[in-house]
Structure 1
Amino acid sequence: MGLHHESTGSKASKGVIGAGVAGFLELFMFHPLDTAAKRLINHRGWANEPGGFAKVVFKEAANQSLVKKVGSLYRAFGYAVGYKMLQRALQFGSHPIVNDYIKEKYLPFYKEQFGDRWAKTMISGTSGIFIGTFEVILLPLDALKVKRQTGVQFMSSKPIAPATPTPGPVNNKAYSTSTKPLSGLHTAIQQNSITTNARAMARQSPFLLAGLYRGATWTAARNSIGLFALFGASTFVKEDIFKLGAPGAAPATVSQLFVASLAGAFSSIAVAAPFDVIKVRMQATSIDAGRISGIELLKVLVKNEGLWALTKGVVPKMIASGPKVAFSFTVAQWLTEYFGRM
């Protein structure tokens, strides 16, 4: 007797693989625009003076060649690879599992509360809330990525210097413990590498690691409301507009998946924008800097920059993150179905 239902483990593995591949492809295509958005969000003021926009976005490469300008937007690429693949695998890979579980256990309740038309949309959105809250475990990778993208010094205080060894003969030759400053590419590699940052943290108090979780509450709120809108709006388009959930309906086409994903992405960006501004501002500090609450930061931001500051970076995010999330979500769904057919 054949198996008519795919096992949960098999479904999860296909979803995670498809979402991870989608996140990797997304990163190569859209990382520069993400960096530009982060720098605009973190800029205190408005980039409306002559040449101001280029200085905010490209920083030290503002007056250099186009190749160097584009290259400057690939800062934090190493952190982004790990973060983005894990994030997409968690978001798009686990959503079908969580969504199916809630549907199996609580579908009658949702139908009673929201009606037959909205039940699946609300279940899909609720699944996004759970996933968005759990996603906060990836915050350290995201925080390191933001610090590198915005050019923030990793630590504001000077790292503790290692103990100086006692001079002595090595291979019958005296040696000096003094070291010459590194220069050129070697210096850049040492200052910017993940290994160097990890060593710097290890030399400092372990409590500094908590600095990488700065803004965790705001991040959880931003992720939850963003994924609620992403999955909810996407499900609404697929179920109510394209009627893909109807009995006997044909499988979704790539164009249908993209349109539904794009609707979800724009909805997510719109509702999560204020939370995103606070999150980036909290992350774009040295990890040993003094703590400031999100509420205090919000008060200062509104006082000095106005309410419109809560929409900073929303245009680049709509231009970049909208198609980027839609692309990744579409590829993840298509690959999952493709692996299922295989």
Structure 2
Amino acid sequence: MSPIGGKSKHSESGVARVMGSGCSGILELLCFHPVDTVAKRLMSNHQPIFVPGSPLSQGIAKMNAVVFKDAHAQSVGRRYLSLFPGLGFAAGYKVLQRVYKFGGQPFVMDYLNRNHRDSFVKTFGEKTGKTIMFATAGSLVGIGEVALLPLDVLKIKSQTNPEALKGRGIFAIFRDEGLGLYRGGMWTAARNAPGSFALFGGAAFVKEYLCGLKDYSKATFMQNFYSSIGGAVASITVAAPLDVVKTRIQNKPFDAPESGMSIITKMVRNEGFGAFFKGLTPKILVVGPKLVFSFTIAQQLIPIFHGFFESQGITKTQPMV
């Protein structure tokens, strides 16, 4: 990722950023889409699965019904395939999201570095200012991610409420639902702002304070891996409560929407405050590696693509000033 630094530092080309982040999105999709489906279905479940005093077998049966839905009584192969609903929506959303987020954050970082670096350094100091600037760039990009919300809504509905999409093509859905596909947009922005701040800020903190890096683009694979772990765990934990609310808003039928405040009220009254962290453990243990994987790959590939394109004369970037 592009660093903050003096005039000797470079900024990776836009082509390298798109290629590196796009590849990370494709690889993440192929490896982790089933895991994402499981997490979304668990977060959308309103009933307790393992009830105290009930047989363990009953809880396991409920878990299978929640995770595999109509395929829960079928063969292992069919149950596994049932975790790939809406793959087309997921492909479009995931690749665009990673290109936008991992490829877009360095552009915002470059802007802040050119125009506001002195303010950050004066307020927070040299090292902390760099980390906060990196996190702020991530937060701003995260808010703008709302533009991709319709694809996210369709992906989640296909994973948790496929009946709402049955027999309808994507163009018909966009025509019929219109702005309804942006339902939950404010909650998405409210989740993304601190979540992306924690993701990029946590990664920058690890590189700056634990790895001692001055130029983040020079990080080794393991340094990118460790920084991605720090950023991912921080991001998932910070965003968890609003992520549950966002998911429940988006998996409602198109013709029966429910407001975020109504969902929050019902969650507190019927499920307690612990409901805001439903799915947190599987997200950190299972979905967390998805984010660690894609963030590590993006951070690793962007400088590699940059070096290749520069050496071939395909791109030619200027030193940062």
Q: TM-score, normalised by structure 2?
A: 0.87
Identity of aligned residues (%): 42
Q: Which residue of 2 aligns with 1:210?
A: 179
Output the CA distance in 1 between the equivalents of 2:72 and 2:229. 32
Which deviations, in whole Å up to 9, do the C-alpha atoms of 1:284-326 show, x marking residues without a partner?
A: 012232x432112101111111100000111221122211111
Any runs of at least 4 consecutive aligned residues in structure 1 with deviations exceeding 3 A, and if so which? none
Output the CA distance in 1 between the equivalents of 2:111 and 2:170. 40
The reply on whether 1:92 has 2:92 as its aligned counterpart is no
Matched AA of 2:288:
G
Give unpaired runs (5+ residues) of structure 1: 156-190
Give unpaired runs (5+ residues) of structure 2: 1-7, 52-57, 309-321
Q: Is the Cα–Cα contact under 8 Å of residues 15 and 336 in structure 1 kept in the other structure?
A: yes
Deviation at 1:116, TM superposition (A): 2.2
The reply on whether 1:251 has 2:251 as its aligned counterpart is no
Q: Which residue of 2 aligns with 1:198?
A: 171
Deviation at 1:199, TM superposition (A): 2.5
Q: 2:125 aligns with which of 105, 112, 115?
A: 115
Deviation at 1:152, TM superposition (A): 4.4
The reply on whether 1:65 has 2:75 as its aligned counterpart is yes
Q: Is the Cα–Cα contact under 8 Å of residues 240 and 277 in structure 2 kept in the other structure?
A: yes
Output the CA distance in 1 between the equivalents of 2:305 and 2:240. 34
Q: C-alpha root-mean-square deviation of aligned residues, in Å?
A: 1.9
The reply on whether 1:144 has 2:154 as its aligned counterpart is yes
Q: Is the Cα–Cα contact under 8 Å of residues 209 and 287 in structure 1 kept in the other structure?
A: no
Q: 2:279 aligns with which of 313, 327, 338?
A: 313
The reply on whether 1:272 has 2:274 as its aligned counterpart is no
Task: Map residues 32-71 of structure 1 onto 2, 5 A cutoff.
Answer: 32-48=34-50, 50=58, 51-71=61-81
Q: Is the Cα–Cα contact under 8 Å of residues 28 and 293 in structure 2 kept in the other structure?
A: yes
Deviation at 1:56, TM superposition (A): 0.6
Output the CA distance in 2 between the equivalents of 1:73 and 1:123. 38
Which deviations, in whole Å up to 9, do the C-alpha atoms of 1:2-59 show, x marking residues without a partner?
A: xx886x7x71221011101100000111111100000011011211151111111111
Output the CA distance in 2 between the equivalents of 1:299 and 1:336. 44
Q: 2:294 aligns with which of 298, 316, 328?
A: 328
Which deviations, in whole Å up to 9, do the C-alpha atoms of 1:248-302 show, x marking residues without a partner?
A: x99311111011011100100000000100000000012232x432112101111
Q: Secondary structure of 1:75's match? A: coil
Q: Is the Cα–Cα contact under 8 Å of residues 152 and 286 in structure 1 kept in the other structure?
A: no
Q: Secondary structure of 1:63's match? A: coil
Output the CA distance in 2 between the equivalents of 1:271 and 1:62. 32
Q: Is the Cα–Cα contact under 8 Å of residues 125 and 229 in structure 1 kept in the other structure?
A: yes
Q: Secondary structure of 2:88's match? A: helix
Q: Is the Cα–Cα contact under 8 Å of residues 302 and 309 in structure 1 kept in the other structure?
A: yes
Say which one has the larger Rg.
1
| Equivalent residues, number | 293
Q: Secondary structure of 1:153's match? A: helix
